[in-house]
């Protein structure tokens, strides 16, 4: 199955609505479960540290409870990318169908899925240190940050395209 045919299938399949609801509800539920573990510190500073030194500097500004919460959020953060990837991909597919988007935009359906993959890779570099983040290696922090950058870049592009499709999708009636 080609890239265009899978994207086309997602755009017209009756499973799209079910998948959208599963993705949306899962994303919201997992967000609510992770939220208490992410309060009081800047997770983006950790994600974009790019070096062990910077990561440990940010970590040293956190309380022991916050560090524990950061480690605990990974209980949910391997399911979360799958949920938001599904939800966003289905949303893009639906908007493309409603707005009669060009075939060139079909590839955007995959951006949230790729972002989810980069998120899983990001997590896999740091989770081995979740019990003691002070043992994190420079290589792990670097590759975590690279994958976080790719993830947020793809999500940003997908979000901008989604926003650009909304007026056309709802103008159609």
* Least confident window among 75-79, 96-100, 152-156: 96-100
Res 141 pLDDT > 90: yes
| pLDDT for position 1 | 42
Residue 106 vs residue 136, higher pLDDT: 136
pLDDT above 90: percentage of residues in the chain: 71
Alpha helical stretches, state H, 1-136: 3-12, 15-34, 43-47, 52-60, 64-72, 80-99, 111-126
Closest CA to 86 of 12, 161, 26: 26
| pLDDT for position 98 | 82
Whether the CA torsion 98, 104, 105, 111 is positive or negative: it is: positive
Mean pLDDT score, 137-149: 98
By CB atoms closer than 10 A (0-12, 13-18, 19+), residue 49 is buried
pLDDT grade for 149, boundaries at 50, 70 and 90: very high
The total number of structural domains that make up the chain = 1
Res 17 pLDDT > 90: no
Domain that holds residue 32: 3-171
Mean pLDDT score, 34-49: 93
* Least confident window among 2-16, 81-95, 124-138, 147-161: 2-16
Res 65 pLDDT > 90: yes
By CB atoms closer than 10 A (0-12, 13-18, 19+), residue 54 is middle
Whether the CA torsion 87, 90, 94, 99 is positive or negative: it is: positive
**pTM for this predicted structure:** 0.88
């Amino acid at each position: 199955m080609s890239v265009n045919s899978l994207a086309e299938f997602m755009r017209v399949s009756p499973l799209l609505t079910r998948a959208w609801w599963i993705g949306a509800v899962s994303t919201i539920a997992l967000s609510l479960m992770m939220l208490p573990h992410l309060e009081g510190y800047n997770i983006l500073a950790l994600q974009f540290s790019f070096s062990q030194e910077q990561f440990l500097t940010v970590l040293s500004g956190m309380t022991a409870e916050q560090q524990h919460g950061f480690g605990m959020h990974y209980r949910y953060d391997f399911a979360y990318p799958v949920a938001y990837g599904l939800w966003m991909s289905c949303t893009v597919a639906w908007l493309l169908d409603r707005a009669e988007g060009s075939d060139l935009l079909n590839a955007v359906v995959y951006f949230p899925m790729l972002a989810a993959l980069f998120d899983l890779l990001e997590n896999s570099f740091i989770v081995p240190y979740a019990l003691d983040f002070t043992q994190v290696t420079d290589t792990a922090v670097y590759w975590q940050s690279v994958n976080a950058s790719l993830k947020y870049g793809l999500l940003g592009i997908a979000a901008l395209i989604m926003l650009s499709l909304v007026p056309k999708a709802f103008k159609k009636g």
